[in-house]
Structure formats: C-alpha cells, structure tokens
Amino acid sequence: MTPPSMRKDAARNRQCILDVARRLIDEGTPLQLNDIARLAGVGVATTYRHFPTPEALMETVATPGLEALITRAEQALTEEDPWGALTGFLGTTLTMQLTDPSITLVRAAPEHVLPRTRELTATLDALAGRLLKRAQAAGSVQGVVTWDDLLPLMCGIAYAAGVHADGQEERLDSGRRYLGVMLRGLRS
C-alpha cells in the first residue's frame, strides 16, 4: 500500500524496493537494505527513507497477507460448523505461511516495529482466539488449548514443512500432514 500523498517517482521507488524485498524473501535471502537499494536501482538513502529497518520492510511486505488472513478469519466466524471453521482457517493460514515466507517471519518475530503490523497481528490473534473458543464451546477442541499455544505450533509446522521438503507442492503436502497430526491432537 502506497501512502496517499506520495509523488509518482517516490511511489515507483517504493514499489521497486518492495518488489526486490518480496523476491529476496521468497528466495530465503535475509533483507539487507544496502543490497536492496542496489538491486532496486535506487539510492541507499531512498531505501532507508521508505523503510528505516529490514524489519519495517519485512512487515510491509507481509501486510497484504496478514490482511488476507484477517478476512479469512472473519469469514470463518460466520460458518456454522465451529470445528470446520477453525480447521479451514488453520489450513488457509498454513498455506499462506508456506507460499509467503514473510507471514511466518513476521508472525514468529518477538516484536513488531510498525504500528500497522501490531494492529494487524492483534486483530488476527483475537479472531483466531474466537475461532478456537467457538470450537471449544461446541466440544470439538480440548479446553486446555489456547491460541497462544497454537500460534507457535503453526509457525513450527511451516518451518518443519520448509525444512523437510524441496518443492512447493512437497512443502504443502508435508505441511498438511503435520497440520493433520496437530488437529488430531486438538480434537476432544
């Protein structure tokens, strides 16, 4: 998302920086702002002006994915079957984590530097917690489990699937298997 009052050249530079960052994240390359400036064909000062830290850049890249997960969680809360809603949401979350590495990196980070990221993750956690509580109230999930338990498990599943599989389809298959194991353990 481009800030509304940005000049065209500044918006273009910002987008070039984001495109390079997206490519590097997808390749598993750590974000180094000086390298990104060079690859984007912009000045180092331009890169730092838009994104003062690699974390701010990472969070900006992850924002559309976080927004999509919030939309999916809101939709899941309207579904009649609480267990199906929870498992569907977790399945979507895992798929997004495995296809957009920025999601897992941001979700696993101990702190966030952008207020928007803090807002998005708090909203997402609240919605996911509601999905879990609905499933618990329906007797589908053990009552001792909290969203604070599931969040690191989801990051762990994404990590394990990424480490133990080579191609994207193999990662998705492995991740779904690991998620299935976790869901069987959650079931009341």
Mean pLDDT of the chain: 94
Cβ atoms of 21 and 55 within 8 Å: the answer is no
Residue 87's CB: how many other CB atoms inside 10 A? 21
For 97, the token pair is 């984590």
- One-letter amino acid identity for 98? L
Does the pLDDT at position 3 exceed 80?
no
pTM attached to this predicted model: 0.91
Number of H helices, E strands in the chain: 9, 0
pLDDT in tens, 112-135: 999 999 999 999 999 999 999 999
- Set out the domains of the chain in order of their start, with CATH numbers: 1-52 (1.10.10), 61-186 (1.10.357.10)
